[in-house]
Amino acid sequence: MITTELKINMGPQHPSTHGVLRLVLDIDGEKVLKAEPLVGYLHRGIEKLSEHGSYQQVITHIDRLDYISAITNEFAYTRTV
């Protein structure tokens, strides 16, 4: 029996993760050998979009990073600006 172990990225894909959870999986066929969660991963490119935008343009993107803690993200951004 030949087995091949693979390392794959899974997520963010579920609506409840909001783009902040990524899993790096080590798999052997359909069996998961190891799962490494990476919290804080953003896949939307907000940082790149924000590099050249004004405050009024960027604040609307900051609100949409993670709707569970949107006010925290806005507070950090406005204090930084």
* 32 and 12 together in one domain: yes
Find the domain containing 36 and state its range: 1-43
Q: pLDDT tens digit string along 58-78?
A: 888 887 777 677 788 888 888
On whether both 34 and 50 belong to a single domain, the answer is: no
Residues 27 and 43: their CA atoms lie apart, in Å, by 23
Q: Output the pLDDT for position 68.
A: 72
Say if residue 57 is in the same domain as residue 19: no
Considering the domain architecture, whether residues 2 and 37 belong to the same structural domain is answered as yes
With b for 16 or more beta-carbon neighbours within 10 A and e for fewer, the 19-30 pattern comes to bbbbbeeebeee
The answer, yes or no, to whether residue 79 has pLDDT greater than 80, is yes
The reply to whether 2 and 39 lie within a common domain is: yes
The pLDDT value recorded for residue 21 is: 77
How many domains would you assign to the chain?
2
Q: In this predicted model, what pLDDT tens digit does every residue of 36-52 receive, in sequence order? A: 988 766 556 777 888 88
This prediction's pTM: 0.47
- If you average pLDDT over every residue of the chain, what do you get? 80
